[in-house]
Each structure stands twice: as structure tokens, then as C-alpha cells.
Amino acid sequence: MILENETKATTNTAKTNNNMRYLTFALCKGRLAKKTLELLEQIGITCEEIKDKDSRKLIFVNEELKLRFFLAKGPDVPTYVEYGAADIGVVGRDTIMEEGRKVYEVLDLGFGKCRMCVCGPHSSKELLQHHERIRVASKYPKIAKDYFYNQKHQTVDIIKLNGSVELGPIVGLSDVIVDIVETGSTLRENGLEVLEEICPLSARMIVNQVSLKMEAERIKEILQALKNIM
């Protein structure tokens, strides 16, 4: 009799797992993904096949836990999450701010810490203080625009660049830049400095708005486990 009940229970669990939908994670390629996977491993969420560097696979699965993972370019992570192609995403706060997608930011993961700053040569400090109409180069035009127009109430010209933004003031493209500062060594080595700090940054977990309701239990369990180890 006991055995019979046990068998029933096992069958029901198997059924539940089979019927369970996959919870999908979109991770920002590179260092953030590596750190995220290390953190998830600490709460018992593993994905062995994602570690195979030679693999050309795009989607990685943990069948047992009904989880799927994929790696994406940072700015695409909030897009996947907003549209529900991923339930959960991990990406830097800078990207979340710049993309402005409709997602819930649920957890500060505490790594990937850096700052969003206005930087330039020391001589540009005065231009900022006197609210001059200056040129601002940035990979983050929305963040730059919001900071200058809505917070500082300073009219500026914003020039979008795609990388090596520090070149802006060096070659005379812009007066200042709005960029990420981590160690500060890129600035130092190029004769630039932090002129104003906009906000602190770090890796954040974001969740699709519908998923947070439909998969509330599973998502909250993951969040709680992460909070417990952090």
C-alpha cells in the first residue's frame, strides 16, 4: 500500500515536471554571464553545456529544473525580457537605463560595480559649471540626455559613439564624455578625469512583467535563494 502511494506520488511529480514550462534566462555575454552562472551554481542551478567554449549552440538547457539559458549582446537582453522571449535577464544597470524597456528590475546582484560619469580634461570642468552649450560624446545618448536636460537643465549636443569613447575629447570631437568608469585607468592613461558622477552601476536581474505573475512561485524562489547567499 505504501509502495503504491509512493509510486503515485513519483508519477505525479514526473507529470508536473514534464508539463512545467521552461523558465528562460537571457544572460549578457562575457564577464557578467560568467559571474551570473557562478552565482546560480551556488544556489544549485547548474548548466554544464553552457561551459563548453567550443560549442556553437545558442540555447542551453537544464532538463531537470526545466530551465533554459542563452547568451545575448547586453542591449538585447532587456528586449528579450520585455517581449517574454526570456523570463529573466541579467545585464548592467547602464544598459537597463539606456534601453528603457518595460521590465521589472528585481535584484542588484552586487557584481560588475562601476559608475556612470561625465569625464573629460580638467579644463572642461568650467564648461560644466557655467552651463555652456557643450558637445558630449557617449555610447549612452539617452542617459547623457536625461542627465544634462532633466537633471542639470543644461542644453548640450550629444554625439553617439560605439566604443573607445575616451577618444572624443582627445581628438577634439567633444568637450566631455558620458561613460562607465570602473578602475579609472583608461581615463588616467589618456589624461582625462571624472568631472561629475551620474550614478552607481552594477549587474541587475530583470524579469518579464507577465512572467513575474504567471511564474511567481518559481521566480520568487530563485530570488530568495540568491538573496540568502548574497
Q: Which residues bind ligand PRP (CB under 6 A)?
A: 139, 163-166, 179-186
User: Which of residues 99 and 179 has its CB atom nearest to ligand PRP in the complex?
Assistant: 179
Q: 190: how many CB neighbours lie within 10 A of its CB?
A: 15
C-alpha cell at 188: 588616467
Nearer to ligand PRP, 175 or 179 (CB): 179
> In whole angstroms, how close is the CB of 162 to ligand PRP at the nearest point?
7
Pairing of strands 104-108, 203-207: antiparallel
Least Å distance, CB 135 to ligand PRP, is 18
CB of 46 to ligand PRP, least distance (A): 28
What is the C-alpha separation between 188 and 9, in angstroms, rounded? 64
Residue whose CB is less far from ligand PRP, 32 or 88 = 32
Closest separation between CB of residue 189 and ligand PRP, Å? 8
Using the minimum distance from each CB to ligand PRP, give the nearer residue, 139 or 204. Answer: 139
Whichever of 44 and 163 has its CB closer to ligand PRP, that residue is 163
Geometric angle at alpha carbon 215, from 211 and 217, rounded to 5° = 140
Strand partners, 70: 26, 59
Q: Rounded to the nearest whole angstrom, what is the least distance from the CB of residue 209 to ligand PRP in the complex?
A: 29
Cβ(222)–Cβ(118) below 8 Å? no
Nearest CB to ligand PRP, comparing residues 66 and 115? 115
Q: How far is the CB of 139 from ligand PRP (least distance, A)?
A: 6
By CB atoms closer than 10 A (0-12, 13-18, 19+), residue 115 is middle
Which residues, including other chains, have CB under 8 Å from residue 77's CB and lie 6 or more apart? 26, 27, 28, 86, 89, 90, 91, 95, 206
